[in-house]
Amino acid sequence: PREMRQLGEQSLQRGGNFHPRYHAIHQMMTKSTQIRMTRWLALGSLGGLIVLGLAWEMWLAPIRPGGSLLALKVLPLCIPLAGFLKNRMYTYRWVSLMIWLYFIEGVVRAWSDRNGVGQVLALIEVALCLCLFVACAWHVRTRLSQAAAHRNVDNLEASAP
C-alpha cells in the first residue's frame, strides 16, 4: 500500500494522473484516516457528555443541593460506548439520532436556567452534542464511500486483463 501511494504521489508531481486502481486505493487510505479521526472524535464527545452530565447534576450546578436524580440522564449515553469501541456503524447511525434529545435539553436549559453556571454548562452540552453528531454523520458517510471505493477496486481488478 505504501509503495502504491508513493507511485501515485510521484505521478501527480510529474503532472500525470492516477491509474483508477491507484486512485481508489489512495482514497481508501485517506478514508481510513478519516474513520479513525471521526471514531475518536465521537468517543471523546460522548465521554465528555457523560462526564459533563454527572458533574453538572452532582456537583457543579445541581437542581437540588447535594445532587439530583437527573444524573441518571447519562445512563443512555453509556450504551453506545461498546458499539463505538467495536466500530459498529449501526451504533453511529442511531446515536446521531438519539443525541438530539440531549441537544434539546441543552438548548432549553441554556435558555431557561437562571444560574449562570448552568447556562454555561448547557452551552457546553450543546457544543458536545454538535461535535458528536458531526462525528457520527461524517463517520457513516466516510465508511459508506470507502465501501463503494472498495467495490470499485474489486471491479477494476476483476476486469483487468
The DSSP string of the chain is -HHHHHHHHHHHHTT----HHHHHHHHHHHHHHHHHHHHHHHHHHHHHHHHHHHHIIIIIS-SSTT--GGGGGGHHHHTHHHHHHTT-HHHHHHHHHHHHHHHHHHHHHHHH--SHHHHHHHHHHHHHHHHHHHHHHHHHHHHHHHHHHHHHHHHHHHH--
The pLDDT score that the predictor gives to residue 10 is: 59
Longest dimension (CA), the chain: 75
The pLDDT score that the predictor gives to residue 61 is: 86
Over the chain (161 residues), the average pLDDT of each successive run of 10 is 58 54 57 90 97 93 83 95 94 97 97 92 98 97 85 66 61
The pLDDT score that the predictor gives to residue 22 is: 52
The pLDDT score that the predictor gives to residue 6 is: 60
